[in-house]
Amino acid sequence: MTEDLNVRRKRILFQARHRGTKEADLLIGRFVEAHLADFDTPDLDALEAVMAEQDLDLVAWIIGGVTPPPAANTPMLARIIAYHTA
């Protein structure tokens, strides 16, 4: 199980750093780099759900230009936003 979790973490880290837009790479990638080691399976599930959103939407939500819709306004997204506003 631990090995599978480590493989999953590596995959998520790669995906976070290679989103498709440089802004999303930096915003999501830095958050994931800082917190990935502490994430358990439910956290990874929540992170993957956030990462499934479109890059342009994520960047707008994270930098504060747009309020996320209720379905996307999850605790994990709030953690990412808080990380970048602290």
CATH of the domain at 26: 1.10.150.250
**Element (DSSP H or E) covering residue 70:** none
Q: How far lies 48's CA from each of 9, 11, 38, 41, 65, in Å?
A: 10, 11, 15, 10, 22
Give the closest residue to 76 by CA, choosing from 40, 65, 60. Answer: 40
pLDDT at residue 16 is higher than 80: yes
Residue 77 belongs to domain spanning: 2-85
Q: Is the pLDDT of residue 33 over 60?
A: yes
How much is the pTM?
Answer: 0.92
Q: What is the number of structural domains in the chain?
A: 1
Percent of the chain that is helix, strand, coil (3-state, to 5): 75, 0, 25
